[in-house]
Amino acid sequence: MAIQNFKFSKEMPYLFTSESVSEGHPDKVADQISDGLIDHFLAFDPDSKVACETLVTTGLVCLAGEVKSNTYLDVQQIARDVVTKIGYTKSEYQFDAKSCAVISAIHEQSEDINRGVDRGNPEEQGAGDQGMMFGYATKETENFMPLALDLSHKILIELAALRREMKDITYLRPDAKAQVTIEYSDDNVPQRIDAVVVSTQHDDFDEDEAKMLAKIKSDIIEILIPRVKAQLKPELQKLFNDQIKYHINPTGKFVIGGPHGDTGLTGRKIIVDTYGGKGAHGGGAFSGKDPSKVDRSAAYATRHIAKNMVAAGVCDEILVQVSYAIGVVEPMGIYVNTYGTAKVDMTDGEIAQIVGEVFDMRPAAIERRLKLREPIYSDTAAYGHMGRKSEKKTVVFENAGKKVSKEIETFTWEKLDYVDEVKSRFGL
């Protein structure tokens, strides 16, 4: 039998996909309610310890969790205010801020947990749980985030803006998902956008389903996508082409959505919240947890490290892991993976050792460095906790007849405030 000769290309491009979900997605509704509670507890009592979970379904919000705080909150009203802000304000949604039931089963935090966290010396605060947390950064976008996830977030942010404008597209409802597939070269450089998936909830149309779907697809491709594209640098705009495969509401009609279409739970979108499947994830959710919970605070701290390391030029891509034991002050260890992109003549182990010297990873130090005892968490609960812009602003909180004004700084873990020190320590 003759043996056929095959020629193998040296270049083997590959596809990578990430997704995002809108603020009206049921799981994100739950996240935003949980973080709305966190912010109110911290605004009125910065020492509050909170772990709050939310379930949303047809006509119902259910709150549960553990709290240790010196303040009283009208949690039902806070939940309704969050649902109103998202846009569930019509009875036909079957989940309406004014008419839905709000049930609270929040109780006091376990002393068995608290005894390992609170200490006489605040600097000796123990970790609020065991586990491992990861931070990731890559130079492929301006905000050091994976491109597919960044584009997915941008699509849904613009979709929500169009919904609120009620001008160019008037039929949108709050629930939506987006997904972007990127083709990469074998040296990990984005080459083109291969596919875009957008599923958006909408009002019921009078015309037939085929005409309805054609209208939605046309509006997404001709109105939404150009608005997203206009935000990008020219080199990223070039990734859009007329060969992109668009799947717009691929299952057809999407009138029933939000908590009426699917039950939502806090903490069920941890990959959307982080890096879209790039890097790694330790498994712990963020929303509803005060910063003594290292699931949240250490994940932010490792992102802070990763972003400053790439921005400083130590590497083009990096994964940082830290791990803790509950009640123990010092982390179990710090791990670094630069994926072979390091620009310094060091092993990843040597890089990790310097990282541990530059960044104090004790829980209390993280809280102080990143200002995590402030009511900054509502902004994180939709469109990702990473890759966002840090800004200073004034926020007013009202509850049970009380009002407090807070000067806050959001997304502090996105600041490039350690670049100079990192450069110095690595001789760059």
Amino acid 125: pLDDT: 76
Residue whose C-alpha is closest to residue 339's, from 310, 319, 356: 319
Same domain, 232 and 113: no
pTM score: 0.93
CB 138 within 8 A of CB 190: no
Residues belonging to the binding site are 25, 27, 53, 66, 109, 175-177, 253-254, 262, 268-269, 285, 289, 293
pLDDT, averaged across the chain: 92
Same domain, 116 and 167: no
Q: What pLDDT, in 10s, does the model give residues 274-312?
A: 999 999 999 999 999 999 999 999 999 999 999 999 999
Give yes or no for residue 220 having a pLDDT over 50: yes
CB 138 within 8 A of CB 145: yes
Same domain, 315 and 252: no
Q: What pLDDT, in 10s, does the model give residues 315-348?
A: 999 999 999 998 888 899 999 999 999 999 999 9
User: Within 10 A of 68 (CB to CB), how many other CB atoms are there?
Assistant: 21
Q: What pLDDT, in 10s, does the model give residues 339-373?
A: 999 999 999 999 999 999 999 999 999 999 999 99
Same domain, 307 and 228: no
Amino acid 117: pLDDT: 61
Same domain, 69 and 117: yes
What the block records as the tokens of 227 is: 């608005």
Give yes or no for residue 1 having a pLDDT over 50: no
What CATH number has the domain bearing residue 239? 3.30.300.10
Q: Is the residue at 399 inside a domain?
A: yes
CB 287 within 8 A of CB 34: yes
Taking the CA atoms of 109, 69, 386 and 259 in sequence, report the sign of the dihedral they define. Answer: positive
Q: What pLDDT, in 10s, does the model give residues 9-37?
A: 556 799 999 999 999 999 999 999 999 99
If one counts the domains in the chain, the total is: 3
Residues belonging to the binding site for ATP are 25, 175-177, 253-254, 262, 268-269, 285, 289
Q: Is the residue at 183 inside a domain?
A: yes
Residues belonging to the binding site for K(+) are 53
Amino acid 25: pLDDT: 98
If pLDDT is split at 50, 70 and 90, which confidence band does 207 have? confident
Which residues face 319 on adjacent strands? Answer: 136, 337
Same domain, 301 and 367: yes
Lowest-pLDDT choice from 54-58, 210-214, 255-259, 284-288: 210-214
Same domain, 273 and 405: yes
Residues belonging to the binding site for L-methionine are 66, 109, 262, 293
Same domain, 115 and 175: no
Structural domain harbouring 325: 131-139+269-284+291-425
